[in-house]
Structure 1
């Protein structure tokens, strides 16, 4: 905890501009090493960013039985936890997470958020003000040791402390039994990750059972117990282990979950099991449970029960879906030489989209992420349509429903593909590379959103990715400073959650890959981070250090600016001066001097007098003319030619090449108006219409972080200069990026005002219009 406080204090000092060390100097700030802003290396975590020689982590195995009451929307469960103390510390108590208690009316998170009234209020809005009518939260029935002896425990909102009868010593394990139940919340009106959705047209339920059992909190080398309350934003810090889970549900329900089902033969009909076997080698999704079968079950509603059995190894959590209104398709896909069953579960309203896309998007995601991180290690990956987006090991919940006529908008399709990629991608971050989401959301969401961007772009070169391209973060980075916070901010304290924890870190990593490091160095270092920390608990320092360690690129300036700061990128071209070398050749220099003389001598009055036919005195009275009246001051004399030839002959070969090159020298002054230092990417447009680009490292700012001047030698004459032509640095003001200055045009539209009832639709989707045509 002390290290965490020191780190947060350092972040605060940096962001608020407190820098007693440098006293307002124009250098030595943004390029200083992070130093004490990161936790000190030790035997558990090395200075390279790799796990140290004495790295350790805890383990928790679960054996769970649960029963779903489809009539009262209630879940009852019992579990045996085997906890392994691999730490060097004796433990006198254990902390468990009770995430469902976030819905308890007495939890702090029900009170500490502000609220407002508006002329339109949803049930979710009102529930937040009035509280929930249904009693929610986990009800603990019993906590006991492995022999059934009751243990004392204390519940503090979303955390449960179990006091052990004696200290659990290093190397020992402990068996713990917990019995519990809770009323399943309506997640459509109450919110939260897990819960049910009711479909009134057929009076059936879709249950997404998540964060549903008491789970061990993480005990780690860098912070001890991670027992920060679950308030809804910061997600999880969980311990790896093995799971065996038995779920009793209505007999006509279809169940999908983390891991592999152990009794499909008993749970499925003969023809469904045959389809499952067919899917094991199919390269196209096979409907194990068909749409017709789901629709039939929706009407008949069995009152019998079945128990599905699942097992999963080396996972940090377990989630499942249960409903009679599910189509289930599956397809075998090869990922880095291993077979993985890509599967999807979805209701009739999602069939037009999910049947075509979902399982193939799952397979594509696994392949792309595996290429950029580590090979996907699990046997299953599942996408469930549940009108939301949330992730768990091997299973995730997404959105994507068609209109009743089966059509859908392009935005709905692309949004669905994007969210499936994102949630399936979470299998890698944080389900495998297991960061602390309660503390550092960006290590989960930011890294995953970056990989999502790469996966979207490899899905379709025209995919409209909303997060990742540098220019799309500009609107956020130009916001008033009081509405911003560093990426390195605790999850609960973030105001603009999506831009801060998802988009900005994803953009930063994209800039690192494409602009700062280059793909080869970045990709190697990023894969090394994933390899080092797979199935472990990394911290931000481990990521920062690994990226530098594996690439030999000093990135402390980048982490400072993008992750610890809130300054934007705004680099300006302030001035351009053009120089050419004095060739000493009188034929060239005299001609240039004459052009300059004529240009300087010319003026408006002279031009207009000549046009008006003014009779000049020296022309009317020739006696006024003398030697200088006919003297050509720029004439090249023979002596001057001889002198030049002798001079040229005396030059070295290197000097001759320089004189012959006829180089143009451009002295350009840049200013850093935004504060965030970045490389200079300069596009030159020459008078012959050709272009060239120079890329200057951000280190150019190290001795003056506010203004730099640099001279560029060009063979051709320059007509225009533009900074960041590909919009790859997230510069918030492109108007000062050009020389000469160019105005960025905006558009306006002349339109007739239409009176539309509030909330009414103003059009339909293109699929519907095409059908009519």
Structure 2
């Protein structure tokens, strides 16, 4: 088609149909985000009145290896930095998740039997876990609870939470010191999983202990929620206060310990050889083995009855965890990256070699290097990776990680698959990375899992890409990896409380990760995104951000209104599905009759010849052919003949135009009106790959605001210098579009493979079976009214 005026082209961007306010995908988030305060500023930064509580711990504990039990006593110094007067304190008793009346047990549900492959079957593992739950004597046994002056304190235990009633109100700026002692039995971490436990090795009759949530911990109190005392149900992790820790752990003297903080009595617990090896490790270019495999194997065979106390100190951390075993091989290497320097260490049994000795400590150092680059400088003196019963769990300065070789059935040698190798590296990156989110950027995990899991998983994918070019992608690191979930009807918005999420992995890990990649690569670009993300980490280092603080900081530091993105990606289950519905091509009419009538003749000649005309050709005798005298002027000239009238009209038009207008009439550009529809409901930028007649391909990126007038349908003008032969929306699959079949014009054929299989012949003769059914029906028909049958 031809347009006689460019004015028509310029006016078509005005929407024909206005959308209602409820359909406005670009309305601001004031209705969803809390009002800014002096504590949390509108920019997303901590306000001038920001405050945060603090809890310092002195803990003395002992491990009874034979009984697999821990006994401990602690002194907590609680600092009330809030403007509020407190009459009671809340503590977390996370070990109580193992009690029969814990909400995690009483509220547990299972898939409908209709959803099971075999509703009458259960795995040995599941049955073992059920039996162990029923007989395991788990949970804290609280002893004395008293103030520093020895006064007994009244307390109430509410499943996994404990309230201590203060003898007098704790006013702003005051602190309260109290003591409590406790004990509990350690769960079998391979059977009763709850982020802590032991692993037993039958061959050498030894255990690995990974100990966490092992002491009563102060619950968080902060400006948004007050006391965070939601019950621990398993998914929502931990919300804690920062403080200093002084911890002494007594256990068999042949055990090696990995723990939060720095070892302060190395002279008492390490041999001279081990201390010398540690000294060498600090400046080494590769990991130095502190406890060799031969030394660990020797310790496995001879249980010591003597005891030893390890003393650790940690400053400004939100938690403390540890692991111990006589089976541990221990290697270490110093690192220095930016302003961060310290010691990276790994602890693992012989069953984890050769995999762990080769990769673990290297993965720890790599994580710190990459996370420092994109977020904040690692502030702690050590970073540790421990192999044991927990597949992946994080604490300050220490991470519990899975992944081991398997024994070859023929040779007995330990070997590992490609997937095992990369899964192990990935879990170390992920769990060590949690030191940044949430161990330093201290978000409320009990409320919003995505704020630590999602942000950390995004950082994990950046670190994986920096490990090697073709890193085995076991996690949906690209938006295309989340497409199946985005198609699913069984999902909840990301902004759903941790315990109410339907698909935890996709909701808390994969979808936030994909969203951040879209922000970085498609919406903001790397420069703006990286600056804003680093600013968020810097602002909230050692502080407690909320989702609003993250959203506002990313907008503030990037200078971009992203409310439409947060609303769609985080608060809804809408999906990206943008369809190209049609394209119309235009060129500017030159008004020159010589050009325009020739163009129309070309268009006419290009039209298909009808079936009737084809059949008449050579068979139909026409009168004008037999009577030549009937022909006149119109038979000699068609509708596309240029007349003097046409020329005169054109010449008059040219005289009336200025030079710019004349140049417009000579334009050789091609104008395409492209119709798009938003089927999925989620607005996204348009990424258009335009293929031209010459074979050249051009990418045009159009911001999401193109949908601001109508979020359901729009028409976009595309201008090219030569004819366009095809158009593809989102050619690199960077917006998680759930249906790529409608992303191209003309439509592309979907390619797949047809799988052939052999039919299993039915048992027996089908005619015999059929005849049997007929005989049964005949008997039914012969039944009399009295119930007897005819013979």
Once residues 595 and 672 of structure 1 are traced to their aligned partners in structure 2, the CA distance between those partners, rounded to angstroms, is 37
User: Contact between 2:532 and 2:557, CA under 8 Å: does it hold in 1?
Assistant: yes
Question: Could you say which residue in structure 1 is the equivalent of 2:324?
Answer: 322
Shift of 1:489: 0.5
Question: Could you say which residue in structure 2 is the equivalent of 1:584?
Answer: 591
Once residues 268 and 229 of structure 1 are traced to their aligned partners in structure 2, the CA distance between those partners, rounded to angstroms, is 40
Where do 5+ consecutive residues of structure 1 fail to align? Answer: 1-22, 755-773
Shift of 1:202: 1.0
Shift of 1:467: 2.3
Question: Could you say which residue in structure 1 is the equivalent of 2:476?
Answer: 467
Residue 496 (1) aligns with residue 503 (2): yes
Once residues 124 and 511 of structure 2 are traced to their aligned partners in structure 1, the CA distance between those partners, rounded to angstroms, is 30
Once residues 208 and 221 of structure 2 are traced to their aligned partners in structure 1, the CA distance between those partners, rounded to angstroms, is 34
Quickly say closer, same or farther: Cα 1:399–1:242, change in 2 above 3 A: same
Question: Could you say which residue in structure 1 is the equivalent of 2:309?
Answer: 307
Q: Which moved more, 1:381-390 or 1:114-123?
A: 114-123
Question: Could you say which residue in structure 1 is the equivalent of 2:461?
Answer: 453
Give the alignment partner of residue 432 of structure 1, picking from 440, 449, 464: 440
Give the alignment partner of residue 47 of structure 2, picking from 49, 52, 62: 52
Q: Which moved more, 1:114-123 or 1:718-727?
A: 114-123
Residue 750 (1) aligns with residue 782 (2): no
Where do 5+ consecutive residues of structure 2 fail to align? Answer: 1-17, 112-118, 408-412, 761-791
Once residues 427 and 121 of structure 2 are traced to their aligned partners in structure 1, the CA distance between those partners, rounded to angstroms, is 31
Quickly say closer, same or farther: Cα 1:64–1:752, change in 2 above 3 A: farther
Give the alignment partner of residue 596 of structure 1, picking from 603, 626, 651: 603
Residue 714 (1) aligns with residue 720 (2): yes
SS of the equivalent of 1:705 reads: coil
Give the alignment partner of residue 549 of structure 2, picking from 542, 548, 554: 542
Question: Could you say which residue in structure 2 is the equivalent of 1:224?
Answer: 226
CA RMSD of aligned residues (A): 2.0
1:487-516, Cα deviation, whole Å (9 max, x unpaired) = 111111111000011111111111111111
Give the alignment partner of residue 677 of structure 1, picking from 670, 678, 683: 683
Shift of 1:603: 2.1
Residue 686 (1) aligns with residue 701 (2): no
Once residues 274 and 664 of structure 2 are traced to their aligned partners in structure 1, the CA distance between those partners, rounded to angstroms, is 81
Once residues 281 and 600 of structure 1 are traced to their aligned partners in structure 2, the CA distance between those partners, rounded to angstroms, is 80
Question: Could you say which residue in structure 2 is the equivalent of 1:115?
Answer: 110
User: Contact between 2:248 and 2:310, CA under 8 Å: does it hold in 1?
Assistant: yes
Give the alignment partner of residue 258 of structure 1, picking from 233, 257, 260: 260
1:370-392, Cα deviation, whole Å (9 max, x unpaired) = 11111111111111112410000
SS of the equivalent of 1:725 reads: coil
Shift of 1:636: 4.3
1:61-120, Cα deviation, whole Å (9 max, x unpaired) = 111111111111011111111111111111111111110100111212111111366523
Question: Map of 1:274-673 to 2, 5 A cutoff?
Answer: 274-387=276-389, 388-404=391-407, 405-465=413-473, 466-480=475-489, 483-600=490-607, 602-610=609-617, 615-636=621-642, 644=650, 647-648=653-654, 651-673=657-679
Give the alignment partner of residue 205 of structure 2, picking from 203, 223, 238: 203
Question: Could you say which residue in structure 2 is the equivalent of 1:764?
Answer: none
Once residues 174 and 701 of structure 1 are traced to their aligned partners in structure 2, the CA distance between those partners, rounded to angstroms, is 56
User: Contact between 2:133 and 2:192, CA under 8 Å: does it hold in 1?
Assistant: no
Once residues 299 and 131 of structure 2 are traced to their aligned partners in structure 1, the CA distance between those partners, rounded to angstroms, is 38
Q: Which moved more, 1:444-453 or 1:130-139?
A: 130-139
User: Contact between 1:95 and 1:162, CA under 8 Å: does it hold in 2?
Assistant: yes
Question: Could you say which residue in structure 2 is the equivalent of 1:759?
Answer: none
Give the alignment partner of residue 147 of structure 2, picking from 142, 145, 148: 145
SS of the equivalent of 1:606 reads: helix
User: Contact between 2:448 and 2:498, CA under 8 Å: does it hold in 1?
Assistant: yes
Question: Could you say which residue in structure 1 is the equivalent of 2:174?
Answer: 172
Once residues 487 and 421 of structure 1 are traced to their aligned partners in structure 2, the CA distance between those partners, rounded to angstroms, is 23
Quickly say closer, same or farther: Cα 1:536–1:125, change in 2 above 3 A: farther
Q: Which moved more, 1:70-79 or 1:595-604?
A: 595-604
User: Contact between 1:26 and 1:704, CA under 8 Å: does it hold in 2?
Assistant: no
User: Contact between 2:128 and 2:191, CA under 8 Å: does it hold in 1?
Assistant: no
Once residues 662 and 422 of structure 2 are traced to their aligned partners in structure 1, the CA distance between those partners, rounded to angstroms, is 61
Quickly say closer, same or farther: Cα 1:128–1:491, change in 2 above 3 A: farther
Once residues 651 and 413 of structure 1 are traced to their aligned partners in structure 2, the CA distance between those partners, rounded to angstroms, is 73
Shift of 1:614: 5.2
Once residues 350 and 620 of structure 1 are traced to their aligned partners in structure 2, the CA distance between those partners, rounded to angstroms, is 100
1:349-399, Cα deviation, whole Å (9 max, x unpaired) = 211111111111111111111111111111111111124100000100111
Once residues 505 and 569 of structure 1 are traced to their aligned partners in structure 2, the CA distance between those partners, rounded to angstroms, is 15
SS of the equivalent of 2:50 reads: coil
Once residues 556 and 402 of structure 2 are traced to their aligned partners in structure 1, the CA distance between those partners, rounded to angstroms, is 39
1:730-754, Cα deviation, whole Å (9 max, x unpaired) = 1111111111111221213335699
Q: Which moved more, 1:429-438 or 1:656-665?
A: 656-665
TM-score of the superposed pair, with normalisation by structure 2: 0.89
Once residues 306 and 160 of structure 1 are traced to their aligned partners in structure 2, the CA distance between those partners, rounded to angstroms, is 32
Quickly say closer, same or farther: Cα 1:392–1:29, change in 2 above 3 A: same
1:688-717, Cα deviation, whole Å (9 max, x unpaired) = 111111111111111111111121111110
User: Contact between 1:27 and 1:704, CA under 8 Å: does it hold in 2?
Assistant: no
Once residues 260 and 472 of structure 2 are traced to their aligned partners in structure 1, the CA distance between those partners, rounded to angstroms, is 31
SS of the equivalent of 1:476 reads: helix
User: Contact between 1:27 and 1:703, CA under 8 Å: does it hold in 2?
Assistant: no
Once residues 620 and 45 of structure 2 are traced to their aligned partners in structure 1, the CA distance between those partners, rounded to angstroms, is 87
Give the alignment partner of residue 699 of structure 1, picking from 705, 709, 712: 705
Aligned length: 729
Q: Which moved more, 1:430-439 or 1:677-686?
A: 677-686
User: Contact between 1:124 and 1:190, CA under 8 Å: does it hold in 2?
Assistant: no
Once residues 443 and 433 of structure 1 are traced to their aligned partners in structure 2, the CA distance between those partners, rounded to angstroms, is 10
